[in-house]
Every structure is written in C-alpha cells, then in structure tokens.
Structure 1
Amino acid sequence: MERRDIAVIGGGLAGTATAIALARAGFDTVLVAPPGSPDKRTTALIGSSMTFLSRIGLEHAVRAVSEPLAVMRLIDDTDRLFRAPTVEFKASEIDLPAFGYNVLNADLADVLDKAAGNEKHLERIESAATDFTVDADRATVSLADGSHLSVCLVVAADGRKSAMREAAGITTRGWRYPQTAMVMNISHAVPHHSVSTEFHTRTGPFTQVPMPGRNSAIVWVEKPERAELYVDLKTEKLERIIEDKMHSILGKVSLETEIQAFPLSGASVDRLIGERIALVGEAAHVFPPIGAQGLNLGLRDCAVLLDCLEESRDDPGRRATLRRFEAKRRTDVTSRTLGVDALNRSLLTDFLPVQFGRSVGLTAMASSSVLRRFAMREGVSPGAGVFGLPKPLRQWAHRQHAMGDEV
C-alpha cells in the first residue's frame, strides 16, 4: 500500500479548496469524495476568503463569476418598542473596494474542480471514506470500494455528519433553532448597486445578497409552520410577498429558482484535531445561514492549516503541528459561534432588556464611524478590529483598486 502525505476527505467547497492549497504547496495529496450534485445557493466570500483564493491562484476566476459586495445594510424591521436605526457599512470606509464577492456555489465548485484537475500533486478518488485507523506514524483510510490509503494526515472535510470525525472519537454538541431557512434566487426591476440588505424581523433575518446583473440571492428565516406555507404558495403570490418583505427597494421581483428549505441548526466539536486528523469546514463547525460565516470560517481553517503544515513538511500529521493548528483556530471558531447564536436569539426574544441592548449597539454603530470601522475590519479579518487590516488583505485591496474595480 503506497503511502501519501495527506488525504482530504470530502469534496465540498472547503474540502476541494484545501486539497488544491495543499497540492500547490507541494504535498502529495489525495482528495477522496464521491461526485456531488449542483448547488444553486450562493456564498458571500468575505475579505480573508478572497485573500486565501488569491494565495492559491483562483481569485480572478472566482471574481469573474461573482458580484462585489460594496455596502452591507442592516434594517430593523421588528416593529418592537426598541427599534434600531438603519446602519450602512461601506467598504470604502476601510479603504476596500468591496467586503468580498457573492458567488453561486455551483460556479465556485466549477472553478475549484477545474483547478483540482490541473494539479500535478493532487489525485482525486471518487469514492466515500468510511473509516480510518491510526498507528505510530501513519493513518489508514478505508474506502467504500474496499481499497485503503496510507497517509501521514487525514483532513476531515466531509461535512456535518463527518464519518472521519466519528471514527476519531471526536464528540459533537448540536442544537436546533425554532426556525427554517428558505433559500432562493430572484431577479428584480431595480439595480442593486452591489448593496446587500439584511432585514431583522421577529422570526429572524431576511437577507438580500447581490448577484451579477439584476439578480439577488435571498435567505429568508421564518417559523417552520410559516415556511411550509410559503414553500407551497403559487409563484406569483410568493413574489409579491418577497417584494413586500423588501419594502419594494428593488421593485418587482421574479423567482428564478425553486425554494430550498432547511431547518436551522448549529454544532460545535470538543476538539478540532485527533491522532493524525484535523477537522475543517462543517466537520468542525456548523452555522445557520446568518452573517456569512459558514464557508468563510471553513476557508480560514484551510489557510491556517496550510500555514502550520508548511512548517512541518517532514511529517504533516505530527501532534505538535496539529496542536498548533487547533490553538490558532479555537478563538475564531468559538467567538463566531457565540456571536451568530447571540444575534439570532436576540431577534427571537421578547425580553425588553435584550431588545434594548441590541438597539443601543446598532444605534452606536450608526452614529460612530470609529465603531463601524472596528466592526467592518473585524468582519473581513478576525482580530483586525483594533490594529487595522492585515498586510495580505491590504495588498489584495491595492490590487483591486489598481485593476479599477467598479463597485
């Protein structure tokens, strides 16, 4: 049985990006994943995600099929006693041409698949990984087709029901919210001008995210019983409701895709590593579709893992290397998990002190450019709020300005 450096298990967006990055860094990499199905949802790739894609040479290909996010607007549509003013976050306030880019997951997958096919250090095996075992200096991965792989390191990117995580004995804590997320794409009469608008409602966020042309993605969080009714509505009626939910800011809307509905849930793990295994993406953390955290957090996992492994080329699965990876990722993962959970629950509660606190916080950001800039820097690059944007992100911004981005 031939021994390889690294096996990346899972062919989703985070897994494929990780495999490409490791192969381009010179690691003998195997990507183990059965063929996937097209995903009509979109992902907003924020700042640090774009710098990672630039690092692995895919930024231009992704930008060619995506829409810049120049402004992010928050509107309090709760109709409660304490209502916050509208807050607009403009990328230009922190010297960026855009916070990031919104891309169809299917288009991003195409970019990644083409890049993976051109990597000389990357082999793709279209089978599922079912188990793995570990001895002193290697891990053996068992595949559904009966074959086995011997590797120094297993990177588990096989999603929220990760078989590799389970095989490693890493425990998961999951939770559910009393909400359903409905996802769809629309076209509209009025241009969006690269502005994303998030309406905070009593049942959760209703978010419009710009796509190329006069198109947008919608993420609509509702009570499960209402979501069931909306999914079964006639198209014309649903289009009118969506326009009303957006207060007609984009004029008449038309549905371009069927609605996909998902119960909202979250999950965290007790550790991000095990013996010769590291977790990335949804194998490591599960988020509801709020605040564009899911894939962005997964790509930060990829970037940090790559940094750590480049310092341990002789044995990528060394315990000290994996401990360093976990130490660098734990704070970011924990803080984002708590932040998204708190934001979502603050919209659901009728407890007046919570409503008041949320209103005060948004009012402060609306009136203070210092607080807005802090929040924006922290959003595009965790830890950058106090000290400003890191050098790679500043370099990315300079390149965008030099290319004359119009956003």
Structure 2
Amino acid sequence: MEAVSQAASPVPSHVRPRAIVAGAGPAGAVAALGLAAAGAQVALLAPDRPADTRTTALMDGSVRVLEALGVWERLRPRAAPLRVMRIIDGTRRLVRAPEVAFRASEASLEAFAWNVENADLNAALDATVAATPGISRITGTLADFEVAPEGLHVETEDGARLEAALLVAADGRQSRARQIAGIEMRSRAYPQVAVTATLAHERPHGNISTEFHTETGPFTLVPLPGERSSVVCVVSPEEAERLQGLDDGAFGREMERRSASILGRMRLESPRGAFPLSARTARRLSAPRLVLAGEAAHVIPPIGAQGLNLGIRDAATLADLVADAVRAGADIGGAQVSEGYERRRRGDIDGRTLAVDLVNRSLLSDLVPVQGLRGLGLWLLGKVPGLRLAAMRQGVGPTRDIPRLAAGKPL
C-alpha cells in the first residue's frame, strides 16, 4: 500500500482519537495503557505471546509509570529491590579498576530498580489491559497498513481490517510495520553472546546487584525475591556454546566460580537463554501516522538494564503527546504528535545507546590507555560525591524532558 501525506488540522469529523498498537510485549502493553489513560480508544493487536523466562530490572522512572497505570500494585509483591549496585573488576589485566558500590539511599531513592521475572511482568500487564475499558485486545498480526488523509487502515494476516488515527509499532526488532514504512536501521554487531538464567543460591543477596567486569563483557548477578538471582553472563560465542552444553549441575558450579562464590552454591532454576549482542537504532522514529516504540525502534545490549526502560519511556512520552492532542481536539495521528515524538525520544535513545557501546567496548579493549581511563573513571565515581550522585541519577533515567507519568505527574 502506498502512503500519502497527513491531513492538516482541524481533525476531520470522521477521525476519532483511536490508536492501534501492534505488539503486546511489555513496551506495547505499556503503550496501550498509556494511550488509554491519555483519552484514546486503543486496539492492541498481537498474536499469543510465547513464554518468556528472562528478567527485567525496572528503573525508578519505569516503576512510576507502572504505578500511574495501575500495574505496579499487581507486580510489586513479585519484585526485588536493587538497593546497592556494585562493580568489581574481574579482569586479569595490567590496569584494574577499584571496586565501587552505589547506594540508592545516596540519591534519596528506595531502590535504583526492581528486578522482576518477565512472566510476572507480562501477567500484570495483561491483567491491567483486560481491566481497562478503553482497550480492545485483538489476537492477530499486522500484515499491511495504508495511510490516507482521513486516517489509517490496517490489515491483519487473517484479512481483518482496522481503522485508526495512529499506529504504534511495538512489534519487536523484526517489526513488520517498520519495514512497510521503509524505515532503515543503523546496526552494530558485537563479538559477544549474553547467556541468561535464573539461579537459586545458599547465601542472601542483600538486595545487592553485582557486576563483574571481565575481558569478554560484564557478568551480572541481579537479585530476585528470595534467595534467587538472575544472571547475565556476556562471553564469546564459543564460550556461550560451551556454557549451553553443560549439564544443570555443572552450569550452576560455573556460575558460582565466575561470581567468586559471593552467594555460595548455586542451582539452576530456569531454562538458559543465549542472545547474540547487537545495537540497532531506527534512522527515524516516526512516519505519517506511525511511531516506533520498544525494540521496533531500538535494541541495545543488556548492559546497565537500559533496554525495556527505554521502551517504557517511549510509551510514556507518547502518552504525553496524545493527551495534549486529545485536550486540544487535535489529530492524535498528526504531525504534532509524530514529530514531537521524534524530537523528544531521539536524544535519550541515542545517548543511552552510545553510553552502553562505550562501556562495552572499553571492556573488550586490550589497550592499556583505555583500561587506565576506565579505571580512573570508576575511581573518580567512588571518590567525588557530586560526580557520583550525577552518575547515579543519569543511570536511573534522564534528568531532563521526563515524561509526566515517569515523574509521577498526571497526564
């Protein structure tokens, strides 16, 4: 289908504040809830979701969004707070960085983040979506869409047709909607694979998240409720294949060894995952009557827990813009929304992607000056209070242009 230019305001009488969200992963579900809270009628179009055994660390701003949307009360009992974030240099290089620990109380936070199992997150989102009158859940997959002056027409793979003013593409890294819109991705592949799992251990984690920096990337233990933690072990593709081939007992012992036994004996509790690392960012975040959210817009390595938190800020920013358009009686699929979204999200996405890239490449580098700069940076973070506080606040989320839901403010 061929796209044509958007209609200008005022809104044609037959265009209602209706949105279609393609994709019901966490970013899509939060987008649907945010749009409904903004006053739009929402069709959430997605196939049945496969099982997801991963975990997610939800930063403070993301928790505020989920609180405002009525999700957090369902999820909070299943979440573990990350009150201390510790970085340990586990390399065997000539220049090693000092150990640094950041405490949430220093930044006047209850926790930097809350770690949850994705199965629990998805269940809480699904329950909230089902209880929200403004959202219709449609089982299906987007096949094509067409933009016309009077609105937008979506066709599903089973031949159904839907109409709306705005399409939110939250349909993952292989986004069909993005491909139809002709939006290209900037990509960078890394020589690394993240091996993920959930482990039980004999010692309490004390709500401390520990990240070991190694020559192949970070090895991170993130608390879960009880004496359990999720692990993200970034290694070479060859080492990832070896780890995947270990039996469950040997895998637990290997994770204990890599963590210097700080949590005692470890036992595998979940299936293992293996994810080749890459960074991908859409060259445009919007097109006429279309915005990209979540992994349709950006994919970054699981370093610093930035990925889904970026997607939640996508959804919260879009809710801001749509709420303003609804109040003004403007077209929620018009240029004011799509161009405003492009402008407001680009800096956050590009800045976080660059920061994660620099941290990751500094670990892989064998250059002594690079190792020295990394060590100096961590030493300064441990010794300079103002720099330390600024780093903690930036790590949790942006300090400027914060979406209203993420700031705890009403739409």
Instruction: Give the TM-score range, shorter chain.
Output: over 0.9
Using the TM superposition, give the Cα deviation of residue 26 of structure 1 relative to its aligned residue in structure 2, in angstroms: 2.3
- What per-residue deviation string (whole Å, max 9, x for no partner) do you get for residues 68-103 of structure 1? 110110111111111111110100001111112100
Distance 2:253 2:96 in 1: 25
Q: In structure 1, the residue corresponding to 2:93 is in which secondary structure?
A: coil
Alignment of 1:363 with 2:376, yes or no, is no
1:270 to 273, 280, 283: 283
Pairwise mapping of residues 38-117 of structure 1 onto structure 2 (< 5 A)? 38-117=51-130
> Which residue pairs with 1:404 in the alignment?
none
| Post-superposition CA distance 1:282-303 (Å, at most 9, x none) | 0000011111011000000011
Aligned to 2:340: 324
Question: Which residue matches 1:179?
Answer: 192
Instruction: Note the C-alpha offset of 1:174.
Output: 1.8
1:401 aligns with none
**Distance in 2 between residues matched to 1:116 and 1:284, nearest whole Å:** 23
Opposite residue 392 of structure 2, the aligned amino acid is M
**3-state DSSP of counterpart to 1:158:** coil
Corresponding residue for 2:221? 208
1:245 pairs with one of 258, 275, 293: 258
Q: Please state whether the residue corresponding to 1:312 is helix, strand or coil.
A: helix
Which residue does 1:22 correspond to in 2? 35
CA contact (8 A) 2:88 2:212 kept: yes
Structure 1 residue 347 and structure 2 residue 345: aligned?
no
> What is the aligned partner in structure 1 of residue 144 from structure 2?
131
Note the C-alpha offset of 1:369. 1.9
SS of 1:198's equivalent in the other structure is strand
Query: 1:382 — aligned with what?
Result: 398
Confirm or deny: 8 A CA contact 1:70 1:91 kept in the other structure: yes
Aligned-pair distance for 1:233?
1.1
Q: Secondary structure at the match of 1:123?
A: strand
Which residue pairs with 1:198 in the alignment? 211
What is the aligned partner in structure 1 of residue 24 from structure 2? 11
Runs of at least 4 residues of structure 1 off by over 4 A? 1-4, 389-396
For the Cα contact (< 8 Å) 1:11–1:158, is it kept in 2?
yes
Aligned to 2:354: 338
Instruction: Give the C-alpha shift of residue 276 in structure 1.
Output: 0.4
Cα offsets for 1:301-323 (capped at 9, x unmatched): 01111001111123110112211
Task: Please state how far the C-alpha of 1:2 moved relative to its aligned partner.
Answer: 9.9
- SS of residue paired to 2:165: strand
What secondary structure does 2:325 align onto?
coil
Paired residue type of 1:374: A
Q: Relative to 1, partners in 2 of residues 1:391 and 1:30: Cα closer, same or farther, differing over 3 Å?
A: closer
1:40: how far off? 1.0
**Structure 2 stretches of 5 or more lacking a match?**
1-13
Amino acid of the residue matched to residue 368 of structure 1? V
Distance 2:130 2:248 in 1: 40
What is the rounded CA distance, in whole Å, between the counterparts of 1:183 and 1:236 in structure 2? 16
Percent identity among equivalent residues? Answer: 45
Contact residue 3 and residue 149 of structure 1 kept, 8 A: no
Deviation, structure 1 residue 234: 2.1
**Distance in 2 (alpha carbons) for counterparts of 1:10 and 1:62:** 21
What is aligned with 1:161? 174
Distance, in Å, in 2 between the alignment partners of 1:391 and 1:284 is 21
Following superposition, the deviation at residue 112 of structure 1 comes to 0.4
Does residue 171 of structure 2 align to residue 145 of structure 1?
no
CA distances 1:173-194 after superposition (whole Å, capped 9, x unpaired): 2221101110000000100011
Distance in 2, matches of 1:50 and 1:140, equals 34
The one-letter code of the counterpart of 1:380 is V
Change (3 A) 1:194 1:394: farther
Q: Structure 1: any 5+ residue segments left out of the alignment?
A: 397-407
For 1:116 and 1:178, how far apart are their aligned partners in 2?
A: 39
8 A Cα contact 2:199 2:229, kept in partner: yes
Show the counterpart of 1:400: none
> What does the per-residue CA deviation read over 1:212-251, in whole Å, with 9 as the maximum and x for residues that have no partner?
0000000000000011011111222222111111111101
2:403, 2:149 → 1: CA distance? 39
1:326 Cα shift? 1.1
Tell me how far apart the structure 2 counterparts of residues 113 and 102 of structure 1 sit (CA, whole Å).
Answer: 18
Distance 1:347 1:10 in 2: 34
The number of residue pairs the alignment matches comes to 393
2:316 touches 2:403 (CA, 8 Å); kept in 1?
Answer: no
Higher mean Cα deviation, 83-92 or 226-235?
226-235
Q: Is the 8 A contact 2:313 2:403 kept in 1?
A: no
